[in-house]
């Protein structure tokens, strides 16, 4: 892995990001977990990967078991639901797993979820106690080289 490139992309992402607070979601031991944490974890949990054609490289949240354990010990963790329940909803929904997770997180805070397309540069996915959070589920793309080159 090209650590220098990944770190550069994370630094650029952080410089452009509206918020540095995150809620990460992932499957672990038959459940869906959510972990509230901040940008300090990004170098330890993100992966450098090929982006779609013409986009260069991308940084993605594709956590390994070790990265999931790291997150569980570096934030406030809670179980959202079982993996089976989550997949049952995903199998019958028009939304992808990231959107389903975002909806579940939003509703867990007593708010109504609405699908939006607010860029990470302009806002978070949810605001709780005046703190904006980006919400990311397994396999989420943070950004790519082509997007970062525009700024």
Tokens representing 15 are 């410089």
- Of 33-37, 52-56, 95-99, 107-111, the one with minimum mean pLDDT is 52-56
Output the average pLDDT for the chain.
94
Q: What is the pTM of this model?
A: 0.94
Please give the Cα distance from 10 to 2 (Å, whole number): 12
The DSSP-derived string for 5-28 is: HHHHHHHHHHHH-S--EEEEEEEE
Give per-residue pLDDT as tens, 127-150: 999 999 999 999 999 999 999 988
User: Domain limits at 96?
Assistant: 3-149
How many structural domains does the chain have? 1
């Amino acid at each position: 892995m090209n650590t220098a490139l990944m770190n550069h992309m994370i630094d650029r992402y952080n410089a452009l990001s509206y918020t540095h607070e995150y809620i990460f979601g992932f499957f672990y031991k038959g459940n869906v977990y959510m972990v509230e944490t901040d940008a300090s974890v990004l170098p330890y949990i993100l992966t450098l990967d090929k982006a779609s054609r013409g986009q260069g490289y991308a940084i993605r949240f594709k956590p390994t078991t070790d990265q999931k354990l790291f997150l569980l010990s570096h934030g406030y963790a809670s179980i959202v639901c079982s993996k089976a329940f989550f997949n049952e909803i995903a199998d019958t929904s028009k939304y992808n797993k990231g959107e389903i997770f975002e909806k579940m997180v939003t509703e867990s805070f007593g708010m109504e979820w609405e699908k939006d397309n607010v860029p990470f540069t302009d806002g978070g996915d949810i605001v709780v106690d005046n703190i904006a959070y980006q919400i990311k589920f397994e396999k989420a793309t943070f950004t790519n080289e082509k997007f970062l080159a525009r700024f």
